[in-house]
């Protein structure tokens, strides 16, 4: 697949057996880069300063600010490099290839130091079962270029649909962004009302992170490539309104009582005759459930045509 060829391409298979090790390594690599963004950017409500963004080549930090200069780090899943660029013309390219998290972390931080980009990070992952410090992680060391490119292609499709969905809302709404902690592409709509304090409890993540993220009532959705299959599109509300689990959603979408959210398996979406329509309907119907049951002022918050 050549650079840029994700556009207009078929939705790829993300069969877990074909890329589980690459997925888990990429998750941790994105945390290293994401924590650089966290270190350089000022705090924004709901942690909107920390995510990555789908780009024409992969996943990017977008422009970050380091003193008087700007810097950008991008995972290029076409040429399989980590691109590090600064606004004064300096640039470095690190190979994306089978290598440990410890090795990747060491080279990224050394490269930033060479470029004069000072970023002090907490060098251990979050929202994972075992938070092994990056410098000690020699276990995760897989990189299959074809698998990484399929993942990026799936993100391009999900990003397109989520942007279309986002455009239907004139109230407070997040960007479409990739959270490296949970490793998912997401967008959230807000009612405008404050929410009860989130209980926290996310593994290897301070409770204050959830307190800030869920400070206001929301309906959130996105694409998560995790789990034991090919991943899922998902939708949930916080706080969860009474009756949400029983809201009618057209199959193959369903409510997962263990997770407390609606899921649409990615494999079912990509196999549909018109995946965009199937996913779009899932996002819209689950949002309507959250908004109707919680009494949102939809006439004010939504685009009316």
User: Do 297 and 167 lie in a common domain?
Assistant: yes
190 with 289, same domain: the answer is: yes
- Is pLDDT of 228 > 90? no
pLDDT of residue 5: 47
Instruction: Categorize the per-residue pLDDT at 189 as very low, low, confident or very high, splitting at 50, 70 and 90.
Output: very high
Given 85, 113, 136, the domain boundary residue is 136
pTM of structure: 0.95
What number of CA atoms fall less than 13 Å from residue 173's CA on the CB side?
20
Residues 100 and 230 in one domain: no
Kindly state whether residue 12 falls inside one of the protein's structural domains: no
Same domain? For 43 and 170 the reply is no
- Kindly state the average pLDDT of the residues 103-132: 97
3-state secondary structure of 168: coil
**Residue 130 falls inside a structural domain:** yes
The answer to whether residue 2 is domain-embedded is no
User: Cα(222)–Cα(284) distance, rounded to whole angstroms?
Assistant: 12
Q: Please tell me whether residues 160 and 246 are part of one structural domain.
A: yes
Q: Give, rounded to a whole angstrom, the gap between the first and last alpha carbons of the chain.
A: 39
In this prediction, residues 168-197 reach a mean pLDDT of 98
- Mean pLDDT is lowest, of 2-16, 48-62, 166-180, for 2-16
pLDDT at 3 over 60: no
**Same-domain pairing of 295 and 198:** yes
192 and 231, same domain (yes or no): yes
* pLDDT above 70 as % of the chain: 97
Q: Could you tell me if 94 and 188 lie in one domain?
A: no
- 202-to-18, 205, 207, 210 alpha-carbon distances in Å: 28, 6, 7, 8
pLDDT cut 90: percent of the chain above it: 95
Domain of 38, in residue numbers: 18-136
Asked whether residue 290 is domain-assigned, the answer is yes
5 in a domain, yes or no? Answer: no
* Predicted pLDDT of residue 155: 98
| Domain final residue, candidates 136, 163, 180 | 136
Q: Both 128 and 38 in a single domain?
A: yes
- Do 227 and 112 fall into the same domain? no
The residue ranking higher by pLDDT, 9 or 257, is: 257
User: In which band, very low, low, confident or very high, does the pLDDT at 2 lie, cut at 50, 70 and 90?
Assistant: very low
128 assigned to some structural domain: yes
Task: Say which range, 5-19, 42-56, 91-105, has the weakest mean pLDDT.
Answer: 5-19
What CA–CA distance (Å, rounded) separates 27 from 85? 22
Total domains in the fold of the chain: 2
Mean pLDDT of all residues in the chain?
Answer: 96
Same domain, 292 and 151: yes
Q: b/e per residue, 230-257, with b = 16+ CB within 10 A? A: bbbbbbbbbeebeebeebebeeebebee
Kindly state whether residue 10 falls inside one of the protein's structural domains: no
Q: How far apart are CA 138 and CA 159, in angstroms?
A: 32
Quote the CA–CA distance of 127 and 116 in Å, as a whole number.
Answer: 30
Residue 6, pLDDT above cutoff 60: no
Q: What is the pLDDT of residues 240-299, one digit of tens each?
A: 999 999 999 999 999 999 999 999 999 999 999 999 999 999 999 999 999 999 999 999
pLDDT at residue number 8: 54
On whether residue 215 sits in a domain, the answer given is: yes
Q: Which of 136, 158, 189 is the last residue of a domain?
A: 136
User: Please, how many CA atoms are within 13 Å of residue 266, restricted to the half-sphere of its CB?
Assistant: 26
In this structure, the answer to whether residues 159 and 275 fall within a common structural domain is yes
């Amino acid at each position: 697949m050549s650079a840029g060829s994700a556009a207009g391409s078929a939705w790829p298979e993300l069969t877990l057996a074909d890329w589980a090790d690459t997925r888990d390594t990429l998750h941790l690599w994105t945390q290293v880069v994401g924590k650089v963004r966290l270190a350089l950017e000022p705090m924004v409500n709901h942690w909107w300063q920390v995510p990555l963004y789908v780009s024409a080549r992969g996943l990017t930090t977008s422009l970050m600010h380091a003193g008087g200069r700007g810097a950008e780090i991008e995972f290029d899943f076409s040429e399989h490099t980590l691109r590090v660029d600064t606004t004064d013309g300096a640039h470095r390219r690190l190979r994306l290839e089978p290598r440990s998290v410890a090795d990747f972390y060491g080279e990224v931080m050394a490269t930033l130091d060479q470029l004069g980009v000072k970023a002090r990070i907490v060098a251990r992952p979050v929202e994972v079962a075992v938070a092994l410090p990056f410098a000690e992680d020699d276990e995760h060391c897989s990189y299959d270029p074809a698998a990484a490119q399929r993942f990026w292609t799936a993100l391009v499709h999900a990003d397109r649909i989520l942007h279309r969905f986002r455009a239907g809302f004139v109230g407070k709404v997040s960007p479409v962004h990739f959270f490296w902690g949970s490793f998912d592409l997401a967008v959230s709509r807000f009612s405008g009302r404050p929410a009860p304090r989130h209980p926290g409890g996310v593994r290897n993540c301070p409770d204050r992170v959830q307190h800030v993220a869920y400070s206001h009532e929301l309906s959130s959705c996105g694409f998560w490539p995790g789990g034991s299959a090919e991943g899922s599109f998902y939708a949930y509300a916080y706080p969860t309104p009474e009756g949400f689990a029983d809201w009618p959603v057209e199959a193959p979408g369903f409510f997962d009582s263990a997770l407390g959210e609606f899921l649409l398996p990615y494999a079912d979406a990509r196999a549909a005759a018109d995946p965009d329509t199937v996913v779009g309907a899932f996002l819209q119907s689950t949002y309507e459930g959250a908004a109707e049951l919680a009494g949102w002022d939809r006439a004010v918050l939504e685009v009316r045509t």
